Amino acid sequence: MQSYGEISPDGKNVKLNNGTLHPLIGFGTYKVGFVPASSNTADVPGHPPDRQPKDIIKDALATGYRYIDCAQFYGNEAMVGEAITESGVPRSELFLVSKVWGDKMYEGKEAILAQLATSLASLQTDYLDMYLIHWPVPGKHVAAYQVLEECLAAGKVRAIGVSNYTVEDYTELEPHLKVVPVVNQIEVNPFLYRPKTLAFFASKGVVTQSYRALRQGKGMEDATVQAIAQTHNKTPSQVLGRFCVQRGIVLIAKTVRKERMLENLDVFSFQLAEEDMQQLDKLTTEDNLKEYKELYDKCVVRDTPLQATKEGIKAVVTMD
């Protein structure tokens, strides 16, 4: 079975290229308490009105999540910081990740440094465990990554990486690297499984983090997923989560209900058979790949002047 990361003996962490152990499961904070105006789903609330945003974060911490995935774009880092402080969980136990958005990358070095300072203050910490480029803004992402390298050297962050990079984006960045990215955060699930891209980044020593691992709930009704779940006496979400962690891909789970948080954490008590994985691998469709490319084209220039001109968007990228 293809693995894309070095899993620790306890099966719950993956080793990064800087020697750090990264939790194989984390909690995503997108749309908790705030919905970005330029979000693709700006008209869909992140949680029902009976759930207070800070309580959602505190529930995640109380159930055992320690990797908390944040971003400038999410617009809620101050709330997340308050929730962490009120939770009483020591900073030393946490793995905090944030990402810099395209607008600041377009503006340049000083804007990126100012944004990092804002994120640190909002999260009430003096360092991040990891800081990422959110999307590879054309003509800007290489210089932006070099600023992240400076932040790493200054001790403001303990690791740096990228997000939503294609093979072609990394190839563009690679000649300029002083520090190899520790991760590339992309969508991974059986409905968008891109083995060539995953293998490429693994060959470079870059671990994959997966957002939308649960396909925003859209994959729960799939007959193949349900049949495999029934075989293992697990839920569809647990099968989707296991699909990632079993391959050394970090799972970023997102839910607002405590019972679901506990359910999503239970991905280490069983193993999918090779046959299960092969069936799941076949669920990616051409339509899903087309949808991915459309999202990529939109997001690499979102909230920048390039949004109007589309300048620099790669016409062809590795899709599989």
Give the bridge partners for 277, in sequence order.
none
Distance CA 136, CA 317 (A): 13
The encoded tokens of residue 81 equal 């910081």
Q: Which residues of 39-54 are buried (b: 16+ CB within 10 A; e: fewer)?
A: beeeeeebbeeebebb
Cα–Cα dist 83/80, whole Å = 5
Q: What is the DSSP letter of 297?
A: H
> How many other CB atoms are there within 10 angstroms of residue 11's CB atom?
14
Length, in residues, of the chain = 320
Rounded CA gap, 257 and 88, in Å?
20
Q: Of 74, 106, 131, 165, which one is the catalytic site residue? A: 74
74 is catalytic: yes
Among candidate residues 114, 95, 219, the one with its CA nearest the CA of residue 161: 95
Query: For residue 190, which of 116, 243, 144, 268 has the smallest C-alpha distance?
Result: 243
For the chain, count helices (H), then strands (E).
13, 11
Catalytic residues: 74
